[in-house]
Chains A and B, each alone.
Chain A
């Protein structure tokens, strides 16, 4: 079983739509959660952190359910520029106690006019 699982999509939505992505993680010891964005053939970039109480950044809302080990990302009023792959990321630990990031395979979003 993958440590972080995401629906690969693609999610094809019209401009202005609301779209939600889900992600589950297997390591109950994970404490920190993030969403990264990766444009086609580009490098991943941090989009936002996910806090227990839920958090919002403009049109983006992230939620965490620790009991179900489930993370979500909601995008409201989709723009063409939101078209990308969204990577769900959780922390884990390396030998020596260093944090490492576990990346999901990503959910692809395509926003059309």
Chain B
């Protein structure tokens, strides 16, 4: 039982490049989330999904897209990376009833130069 996994763990991009972050969970959770964490700020919700095939915008969705084609996977895409997207990205999953206990992946450290 791996819980929530994220790939890659680290990445350096040049401005304008694109990439996809992959999140996978093996707990059969309905809900999945993408957050970013920046120094001095709390985790901020980028996008979320309440079930397979559904996605919705969170607090800071600009510059990101997501897809949830399979229940266990939640992909975060950066179409044209900008230095402002330098951050640590966390994926999380959770159960609708116990929504407050979110299980996080280990994070992806992304630097955009």
Contact = CB atoms under 8 A, between A and B. Distances in A.
Interface of A: 2, 4, 8, 32, 34, 41-46, 49, 87, 89, 91, 94-96, 98-106
A41 B107 CA distance: 9
Interface in B85-109: 90, 99-102, 104-107
A44 B99 contact: no
Residue of A8, A44, A95, A105 contacting most chain B CB atoms (<10 Å): A44
Interface of B: 31, 35, 40-45, 48, 50, 56, 58, 90, 99-102, 104-107
Given A49-B100, A95-B56, A98-B50, A43 B105 contact: yes
B104 A44 contact: yes
Contacts of A100: 45, 48, 58
Given A46-B100, A49-B100, A94-B56, A105 B106 contact: no
